[in-house]
Amino acid sequence: MELLGLPPATWLPVVFAGLMGVAILLYVILDGYDLGVGMLLGGAQDEGERDTMIASIGPFWDANETWLVLATGLLLVAFPMAHGVILGELYLPVMLMLVGLILRGVAFKFRTKMTPGSKLLWDRAFLGGSMLAALAQGWMLGSYVLGFQDSWAAHLFAAITALGLAVAYAFIGACWLVMKAEGDLQRRAAHWARAMLAFAALGLVAVSVATPLVSPPIFEKWFSLPNFMLLAPIPLVTAVTLVALWVALGRYPRPGDRWNWVPFAGAVAVFALAFQGLAFSFYPYVVPGSLTIWDAAAAPESLGVILAGSVFVLPMIVAYTAFSYWVFRGKAGELRY
Amino acid sequence: MQFAANITFHILFPTITIALGWMLLFMKLRFTWTRDGAWMELYRFWVKVFALTFSLGVVSGIVMSFQFGTNWPGFMNTVGNIAGPLLAYEIMTAFFLEAVFIGVMLFGHGRVPAWAHTIATALVAIGTTISAFWIMVLSSWMHTPADFEMRDGVAHATDWGAIIFNPSMPVRLAHMLLASGLTAAFLVAGFSAWRGLRGDRAPSVAKGLRLGVVTAALLIPVQIFVGDLHGLNTLEHQPAKVAAIEANWETRPNVPLVLFALPDEEARENRLEIGIPNGASLILKHHADGVVPGLNDFEGEHPPVAPVFWSFRVMVGVGMLMLLVSWAAAWRLWRRGEPGVWISCALVGMTFSGWVATISGWYVTEIGRQPWLVYGVLTTHEAASEVPASMIATTFLGYMAVYAFLLAAYVGTLYYLAGKGRKADVTVEGPGAVPARA
């Protein structure tokens, strides 16, 4: 089937790159906040607060992690060559991330079912697992950005992005709590969000500056005319949003708990913008510097079969996900099963 | 190996959740119709087990989705065009459905109307079953690949309908779903019997026992019948596997059914063989003179004999025990209305028998396919990754430690939950517990 006069082998990979991008972005936002809440458990003052924090993500985390499965799945099925290369290069951090995800996944369920004495232990496992997963993902990001270089400086860069992403997750997690928590916890969540925002912004600047400097093609892309003028809004809008959030978070929670969703929405916007910037930097490469999406794509007839299904299924997924967020809107306090 | 260990671990949990989801729906519906609080109590106990089992399935499943790439790059490079869409459909049609509605199912009491909650329960059960459908499509296609063509060493699909409904798919799917039903049934019956033995006389415990026993007693004969069909199907498509199952070396008529033997691959014969004359010919060809293929026809291309031979006997042995115990228990429940100590003990002993049978059955079919990964298309060796063996060994040990720990914690938690019984339900759940609602 031709689209705009292009053969399927040309446009299908682009569509799938877009789908994968959306899946990754949704994953980073959705699991980002619940990993963030997991890390912020360290700041809870008692068991009651930990219960509330975990209850706030309880109905959602399963589905959130499914976006990771979809993103990896799409990479696997649409760009099998790239899947092998990327996961081969990232073998160790992927393993660490998986250990982290396993730990927190089971800790989440075991904590309410085991003897009361072991609950604190499982909560620590939840915190540790969340942190390990976040750091490992940040490490993967850094390593990917530099095209899997194996040098001292590259590892240092990856370590910085690991910290940066973990902090960014903690930031969006704190914003989530501003929306979902009440009273003292909500007040402190606003403080956490503000502190994390400062660090996350630093990390964002570091990555944004370092990426074009280490990669001439990316430098070329951003700083040539007319791209520079067209792209300037991305960093500008990001900067404005960050400053506005910083100012606003100082005044949370608002009287009557109005506008409690605004910080989270702002955080989502920042994540989306940063992701835009990254996506633009690398397109059309799926493995930086070596494989383009067309080199790595699976056979068009297979992609077509998947696309035909996803046109129907993805809107349904979005619809019932929205339904679930609507069902569990409001404060998290009383969620139990 | 690492992947095999992971699948072994992973398969344990979906096996329970597929059927337990339907049993939960049954409990919920019984409650809706009868208004009997005991059904709701039963539901609320087993929904916790379901949640725990489900999350273990999810996390081990995530690990698997990564290992496809890290450990088997050759697999996706060769048959990715076929396996890919099947996996993609599983994720899109099943995973999201389960993951979203399990949230509604677990936390939705009091937030959604009762009918919406029942629908959420149904959707979770449907989701787990769809997931089983796609994964069995892929698995059976790997055993009986159909309707593809090789171009430059890469498989391309020619007919998706025929790929999905490949020759061994219907029997494999039925066999797996029934295995799941039996596993869940014995789990429910076993824990109910255990609670009964400890003096828990709650009506919900008796209902659970009855549900488990009746389900098991109904499913086991069907499973034996489907298992026989599956065997005949395998004989048609993978004769080498059947030869290994029977430890039959020569192609000949009047083959005995070997009950016990120590297959010796070096000498290509069985030691200490005890068999029923003409048995294998009768079962496989339904005729005493039937010619059954032997391993020597497939020298160098047949699976390791002993593991397949023994796994099969474990599976069938457990199946026979299931038949015996479930029918004895059903008989006793029918005549006396309560199980009695002996039957209860037997049921407790059989609590995890479904796992034993499922895993040994899975070993039969997967080891039985060796040396092939995709039968006749791709060998396991060709598909394996070039990640240094030392690294795989290290991560393998790490995984094994994690899995052993999780399994112990899982089983321990189940007994802890069951031991708490209904009294503790109120105190531990605290004031946040939402009372059973109409």
Nearest CA in chain A to B67: A87
Kindly tell me if the per-residue pLDDT of B430 is higher than 80: no
Query: Mean pLDDT across the stretch B158-163?
Result: 79
Question: Closest to A324 (Cβ–Cβ): which among B59, B89, B100?
Answer: B100
Task: State percent of chain B over pLDDT 70.
Answer: 91
Q: What's residue B424's pLDDT?
A: 40
* Residue contact A87–B89, C-beta within 8 A: no
Structure tokens given for B285: 């060809």
Residue B39 host element (H or E) = helix B37-71
Closest CA to B226 of B259, B177, B185: B177
* Residue contact B55–A106, C-beta within 8 A: yes
Q: What's residue B435's pLDDT?
A: 35
Query: Mean pLDDT across the stretch B146-159?
Result: 77
Which of B 228-287 lie inside 8 A of A, CB atoms? none
The type of residue at B434 is V
Q: Which of A35, A83, A329 to mutate to test the interface with B (most CBs of B within 10 A)?
A: A83
Name the pLDDT band for A190 (thresholds 50, 70, 90).
Answer: confident
Query: Mean pLDDT across the stretch B11-16?
Result: 77
Q: What's residue B388's pLDDT?
A: 67
Q: Which of A113, A132, A311 to mutate to test the interface with B (most CBs of B within 10 A)?
A: A113
Kindly tell me if the per-residue pLDDT of B426 is higher than 50: no
Task: Note the Cα A61 to chain centre separation in Å.
Answer: 13
CB A273 within 8 A of CB A301: no
Name the pLDDT band for B436 (thresholds 50, 70, 90).
Answer: very low
* Residue contact B88–A105, C-beta within 8 A: no
Task: State percent of chain A over pLDDT 70.
Answer: 95
Neighbours of B201 (CB within 10 A): 9
The DSSP result for B192-249, as a single string, is: HHHHHHTT---HHHHHHHHHHHHHHHHHHHHHHHHHHHHHHHHHHH-HHHHHHHHT--
Closest CA to B196 of B411, B23, B351: B351
Question: Closest to B103 (Cβ–Cβ): which among A59, A88, A310?
Answer: A59
Instruction: Tell me, yes or no, if B80 comes closer than 8 A to chain A by beta carbon.
Output: yes
* Residue contact B56–A324, C-beta within 8 A: no
Identify the burial level of B162 via C-beta atoms within 10 angstroms of its C-beta, where 0-12 means exposed, 13-18 middle and 19 or more buried.
middle
Q: Which residues of B touch A306 (CB under 8 A)?
A: 84-85, 88-89
Q: Which residues of A touch B48 (CB under 8 A)?
A: 113, 337
Report pLDDT digits (tens) over B111-144: 778 888 888 888 888 888 888 888 888 888 888 8
Considering only the C-alpha atoms of chain A, give the largest distance between any 2 of them, rounded to a whole number of Å: 66
Could you tell me the CA-to-CA distances from A71 to A76, A79, A127, B132, B171 in Å, in that order?
8, 11, 24, 21, 32
Query: Mean pLDDT across the stretch A126-135?
Result: 88
Which of B 130-169 lie inside 8 A of A, CB atoms? 154, 156-157, 160
Could you tell me the CA-to-CA distances from B250 to B240, B269, B286, B289, B316 in Å, in that order?
11, 9, 19, 14, 23
| Average per-residue pLDDT for chain A | 80
> What SS3 state is found at B151?
strand
Report pLDDT digits (tens) over A153-176: 778 888 888 888 888 888 888 888
Q: Which residues of A touch B432 (CB under 8 A)?
A: 334, 336
Kindly tell me if the per-residue pLDDT of A192 is higher than 60: yes
| Average per-residue pLDDT for chain B | 78
Name the pLDDT band for B209 (thresholds 50, 70, 90).
Answer: confident
CB B41 within 8 A of CB B211: no
Q: What's residue B422's pLDDT?
A: 47
* Residue contact A336–B92, C-beta within 8 A: no
Q: What's residue B238's pLDDT?
A: 82
Q: What's residue A108's pLDDT?
A: 78
- Residues B375 and B155: their CA atoms lie apart, in Å, by 13
Q: Rounded to 5 degrees, what angle do the CA atoms A76, A79, A80 make?
A: 55
The DSSP result for B369-398, as a single string, is: TTTEEETTTEEHHHHS--S-HHHHHHHHHH
Q: What's residue B2's pLDDT?
A: 56
**Interchain CB contacts (distance < 8 Å): A and B:** 198
- Residues A236 and B392: their CA atoms lie apart, in Å, by 46
Neighbours of A308 (CB within 10 A): 11
Structure tokens given for A63: 């589905």
**How far away is chain B from the Cα of A310, in angstroms, using its nearest Cα?**
7
The DSSP result for A283-299, as a single string, is: TTEEETTTEEHHHH---
Residue B150 phi/psi, 5-degree rounding, is: -90, 125
Q: Which residues of B touch A109 (CB under 8 A)?
A: 51-52, 55-56
Instruction: Tell me, yes or no, if B406 comes closer than 8 A to chain A by beta carbon.
Output: yes
Structure-model confidence comparison of residues B141 and A256, the more confident one: B141
Residue recorded with tokens 């789908």 = A19
Kindly tell me if the per-residue pLDDT of B425 is higher than 60: no
Q: Which residues of B touch A78 (CB under 8 A)?
A: 84
**How far away is chain B from the Cα of A12, in angstroms, using its nearest Cα?**
14
* Residue contact A84–B432, C-beta within 8 A: no
User: Which residues have CB under 8 Å from B389's CB, separation 6+?
Assistant: none
Structure tokens given for B386: 């070039």
Name the pLDDT band for B1 (thresholds 50, 70, 90).
Answer: low
User: Which residues have CB under 8 Å from B344's CB, separation 6+?
Assistant: B193, B194, B196, B197
Q: Which residues of A touch B104 (CB under 8 A)?
A: 59, 324, 327
* Residue contact A68–B157, C-beta within 8 A: no
**How far away is chain A from the Cα of B378, in angstroms, using its nearest Cα?**
17
* Domain extent listing, chain B: 1-237+320-416
Count of residues making up chain B = 438
Kindly tell me if the per-residue pLDDT of B314 is higher than 80: yes
Q: What's residue B434's pLDDT?
A: 35
Report pLDDT digits (tens) over B72-113: 767 777 777 788 888 888 888 888 888 888 888 888 777 778
Structure-model confidence comparison of residues B61 and B170, the more confident one: B170
Question: Closest to A317 (Cβ–Cβ): which among B92, B413, B433?
Answer: B92
Query: Mean pLDDT across the stretch B215-239?
Result: 84
Straight-line distance from the first to the last Cα atom of chain B, in angstroms, rounded to the nearest whole number: 49
Q: Kindly indicate whether the ipTM for this predicted assembly is greater than 0.95, answering yes or no.
A: no
**How far away is chain A from the Cα of B417, in angstroms, using its nearest Cα?**
7
Q: Which residues of A touch B428 (CB under 8 A)?
A: 116
| DSSP secondary structure code for residue A224 in this structure | S
Q: What's residue B421's pLDDT?
A: 53
Kindly tell me if the per-residue pLDDT of B181 is higher than 80: yes
Name the pLDDT band for A116 (thresholds 50, 70, 90).
Answer: low
> What SS3 state is found at A18?
helix
Report pLDDT digits (tens) over B323-378: 888 888 888 888 877 777 788 888 888 888 878 888 888 888 777 777 777 777 77
Name the pLDDT band for B256 (thresholds 50, 70, 90).
Answer: confident
Report pLDDT digits (tens) over B380-423: 777 776 666 677 677 777 777 877 888 888 888 888 877 765 44
